[in-house]
Amino acid sequence: MSLCKKGMLQKAKEVMENMLEKGFPINIVAFTVLIDGNFKMGDRVRAQMLWGEMEARGISPNVVAFSAFIDGLSKAGLLEKAFTTHLDMLRRGFVPNNFTYHSSIGGVLLEK
């Protein structure tokens, strides 16, 4: 978290990969922080790649991860992807919170 807050996203990713190599468990929190950090630094491609990597590793997103991803997608102007992710969130049984709805609405307003 500290590395991400300081904008050192590549270093944070390296630390996470090193932890994986050594057999330390990586949970949804690590991926969520990296995804959110990449969106905040404007690297939507890397954020989306991390989302895919997270799921490929069998780590299922929780409501916080979904909210961060939807927020990042909306702010990046990827409204269709944000909407399909929102639908996926609902399909998996998660209830969106106000943050998720505000992110989606904000994305629509930014597009206009």
CA dist., res. 51 & res. 81, Å (int): 12
| pLDDT tens-digit series, residues 13-53 | 788 788 888 888 888 988 998 899 889 889 999 999 999 99
Q: Given this model, what pLDDT does residue 52 score?
A: 95
Instruction: Tell me the HSE value of 11 on the side-chain side, using a 13 A CA sphere.
Output: 8
Residue ranges of domains in the chain, CATH in brackets: 2-111 (1.25.40.10)
Specify the pTM.
Answer: 0.79
Two tokens, residue 78: 């990827």
CA dist., res. 11 & res. 22, Å (int): 17
55 has pLDDT over 80: yes
Q: Extract the runs of DSSP E, i.e. beta strands, from 24-96.
A: none
Percent of the chain with pLDDT over 90: 43
Q: Given this model, what pLDDT does residue 3 score?
A: 74
| pLDDT tens-digit series, residues 56-67 | 989 999 999 999
